[in-house]
Amino acid sequence: MPKKYSEWLAFAKDMAFEAGRIIQQAREESSFVRDYKSDHELVTSTDIAVDKYLCASIAEKYPSHLILSEESSPSLNLEARPSDKPVWVIDPIDGTVNFAHGHAHVAVSIGLFIGEERILGVVNAPFLNECFWALRGGGAFCNDKALRVSGGTDLRSALVATGFPYQKNALVPLVERVSRVLHQCQDIRRNGSAALDLCWVAAGRLDAYFETVKPWDMAAGVLIAEEAGAKVGYYEEQKNAWPKPINGNALLVSTPDLYDCFIEILKVNEFSYSN
Ligand code: IPD
Ligand code: CA
Ligand code: CA
């Protein structure tokens, strides 16, 4: 593994801890304001402040790297990038609704990929004192503890997480999927942070997670789940243009033995819900 990868990981962890401190302080002092983007999507001044901090830190330390960040560069054009160019993918607060409502399930997510490969992922949950991280080929960790998926093989005992989109018109097929999961599995969780859902699959606290999410929600968490032994794939044919390592459309991450069962459960005919 190139030495620079470990240096990038150490740098990403330092940033994630500092970002966590900014988030904690904003909550302690109630010093943030709420706003809405793209219609009804909540964003706080702390999302913006953390995004600025992360982007400025990366630009200063690695000026030649690219940054895809939820709040300041969500539309970065990645098509013409050289195949060896490192791309940082950042969600300053994953779980903004939780953050604004005083819940603990909140994380900073920092991923990095090059070409077709996920290189590193750091997901720091400051209110839970847990920092999840992984380097390609080096395993996945929570703080200093190595992670392994649950090893679940029985669908009826599986605990599954998902999330609900801000766009209400995308809800109908999802409700059908949730109904199927509820009928066939143990239970479902909606924790409010996709990045942490992925890390919780890695930690064996969940057996599966599915959702359509954006690159910054999943770039770090998917590598962490993969490195802990999860199987990663998609329950729908892919039509969007995101590079493969950061494509969160119809994402399914589960224990290897349950993967095929979930593919079957989650296959609904989207066309019949489109009107
Ligand atoms: C959201 C969270 C949530 C997921 C949504 C995401 P945000 O991210 O990850 O769990 O269900 O799809 O948009 O808006 O809190 O960064
Ligand atoms: Ca997010
Ligand atoms: Ca966010």
Give the tens place of pLDDT for each residue, 11-36.
Answer: 999 999 999 999 999 999 998 989 89
**Which of 94, 200, 210 has most ligand 1 atoms within 8 Å of its beta carbon, as the pocket-test mutant?**
94
Q: What residue owns the CA closest to ligand 1's atom 2?
A: 193
Closest to 124 measured CA to CA, from 229, 23, 254: 23
Q: Is 133 helix (H, G, I), strand (E, B) or coil?
A: strand
> Which one-letter amino acid corresponds to residue 130?
E
| CATH code given to domain 3-146 | 3.30.540.10
Contact criterion met (CB below 8 Å) for 147 and 205: no
Output the known binding site: 70, 91, 93-94, 217
Residues of each domain in the chain carrying CATH 3.30.540.10? 3-146
* Residue 100 Cβ contacting ligand 1 at under 6 Å: no
* 218, 251 contact by CB (below 8 A): yes
> Which residue puts its alpha carbon closest to atom 16 of ligand 1?
94
User: Is the CATH number 3.40.190.80 carried by domain 155-272?
Assistant: yes
* Residue 272 pLDDT class (50, 70, 90 cuts): low
22-46 exposure pattern, b = at least 16 Cβ within 10 A, e = fewer: bbeebbeeeebeeeeeeeeeebbeb
> Over the stretch 68-98, which tens digit does the pLDDT of each residue have?
999 999 999 998 899 999 999 999 999 999 9
Written as six digits, the tokens of 104 are: 């603990």
Q: Which ligand is nearest to the CA of 192?
A: 1
Q: Where are the beta strands (DSSP E) in the chain?
A: 34-37, 41-44, 66-69, 86-94, 107-114, 117-125, 130-135, 140-142, 145-146, 159-161, 187-189, 208-211, 231-234, 251-254
Q: Is the pLDDT of residue 271 over 80?
A: no
Write down the pTM of the prediction: 0.96
The residue to mutate among 97, 213, 216, having the most atoms of ligand 1 within 8 angstroms of its beta carbon, is 213
Ligand nearest to the CA of 47: 3
Residues labelled as active-site residues: 70, 91, 93-94, 96, 217
Question: What does the pLDDT look like over 174-220, one tens digit per residue?
Answer: 999 999 999 999 999 999 999 999 999 999 999 999 999 999 999 99
Q: Give the pLDDT confidence of 209-241 residue by residue, as tens digits.
A: 999 999 999 999 999 999 999 999 999 988 778
Q: How far is the CA of 2 from the centre of ligand 1 (A)?
A: 33
* Atom of ligand 1 minimally distant from the CA of 97: 15
pLDDT of residue 275: 42
**Range(s) for CATH 3.40.190.80 in the chain?**
155-272
